[in-house]
Amino acid sequence: MPEQSRSAAAVWSDAEFAQAWLGADPQGPQDLLELPRHMAARLVAEETPQPRLIVDVASGAGKFLSVLLDAFPDAHGVWTDVSDTMLERARTDLARFGDRVDFTVGDMTALRAAGVPDQVDVLVTSRASHHLAGEELRGFYREAGSLLAPGGWLVNLDHIGPEDEMWDKRYRAVRKKFSAPRAATPSHHHNYPLPSEADHLDGYRAAGVSDVDVAWKAFYSCLFIGRAPRSPQS
Ligand SMILES: C[S@@+](CC[C@H](N)C(=O)[O-])C[C@H]1O[C@@H](n2cnc3c(N)ncnc32)[C@H](O)[C@@H]1O
């Protein structure tokens, strides 16, 4: 397992840490990321009204997967994550989808080895790829892209590292005023600087997905969404 991925996996595999993080994560209307999750579902639905296979990588409790399985009632979902604590929680939170969801534990830098199938119509990940950097991040994108069906969607909702000092200062000054009140989040190690918006867009291109945009952005969080070519020629 590559180094940065290994250290993130170790942190999230600690049951006490993962449970504390889950307890502090905003729910319902307090969760400001519900908007970009629903935006992604709508954007996909416009061009792919009936995706068959949806995969959520580093899915945690399965928040993104829930939104997509509600939006696409005929789709089958694959939940994957490295943490057994998250598996336990996701089995509860996704129970209402019954046998529409398969669960597989594994590392996001080895998706095939983790049991993620190919011909994926929508591959999403959220709040996890910032643990990777450089070649690990590009490698994740390359493998994710290679698992997509023709015309499949690659969606990443994640926190990015600032590229501009002045804007970083401005954002830091105001962003807390817009955050939902939350219990103290347990701190965990990050490799700073986090990958930038440009690093993610490079990753999409490395994955062969050049039809990509940042569909939503708030301070340091971005919704990246891209569509693979519909055929090798297009
Ligand atoms: C901040 S949580 C986000 C969970 C979920 N995607 C969401 O947005 O609600 C980060 C998730 O990434 C998972 N994770 C961290 N490193 C990983 C790795 N190397 N491979 C697979 N999952 C990983 C953690 O177990 C955790 O569930």
Q: Between these two residues, 212 and 232, which has the higher pLDDT value?
A: 212
SS3 assignment, position 85:
helix
pLDDT at 234 exceeding the cut of 70: no
- Banded model confidence at residue 122, pLDDT cuts 50, 70, 90: very high
pLDDT at 144 exceeding the cut of 90: yes
pLDDT value for 189:
64
pLDDT value for 207:
98
Q: Which atom of ligand 1 is nearest to the CA of 8?
A: 16
CB 56 within 8 A of CB 64: yes
Closest to 159 measured CA to CA, from 196, 186, 212, 132 = 196
Q: Please check whether residue 26 lies inside any domain of the structure.
A: no
CB 228 within 8 A of CB 154: yes
pLDDT tens digit string along 200-228?
999 999 999 999 999 999 999 999 999 99
Pocket of ligand 1, candidates 1, 82, 91, 125: which has the most ligand atoms within 8 Å of its Cβ, to mutate?
82
pLDDT at 233 exceeding the cut of 60: no
Total count of domains within the chain: 1
pLDDT tens digit string along 22-76?
999 999 988 999 999 999 999 999 999 999 999 999 999 999 999 999 999 999 9
Residues with CB under 6 A from ligand 1: 5, 8-9, 12, 58-61, 63, 81-83, 86, 107-108, 126-128, 131
Q: Please check whether residue 110 lies inside any domain of the structure.
A: yes
Average pLDDT in the chain: 94
Q: Please check whether residue 234 lies inside any domain of the structure.
A: no
Nearest CA to ligand 1 atom 10: 128
Nearest CA to ligand 1 atom 1: 127
pLDDT value for 6:
84
Nearest CA to ligand 1 atom 14: 58
Q: Please check whether residue 233 lies inside any domain of the structure.
A: no
pLDDT tens digit string along 175-207?
988 877 666 666 666 777 899 999 999 999 999
Range(s) of the domain holding residue 179: 3-18+32-227
Q: Please check whether residue 101 lies inside any domain of the structure.
A: yes
pLDDT tens digit string along 91-104?
999 999 999 999 99
CA dihedral for 206, 209, 213, 214, sign (positive or negative): negative
pLDDT value for 192:
76
CATH of the domain at 131: 3.40.50.150
> How many other β-carbons are positioned within 10 Å of the β-carbon of residue 108?
26
Task: Report how far ligand 1's centroid is from the alpha carbon of 172 (Å).
Answer: 24
Q: Which atom of ligand 1 is nearest to the CA of 58?
A: 22
Cα–Cα distances in angstroms (integers) from residue 73 to residues 33, 45, 76, 95, 97, in the given order = 22, 12, 8, 15, 9
Q: Please check whether residue 27 lies inside any domain of the structure.
A: no
Q: Please check whether residue 23 lies inside any domain of the structure.
A: no
CB 75 within 8 A of CB 45: no
What's the helix, strand, coil split of the chain in %, to 5?
45, 20, 35
Q: Which atom of ligand 1 is nearest to the CA of 1?
A: 19
Q: Please check whether residue 112 lies inside any domain of the structure.
A: yes
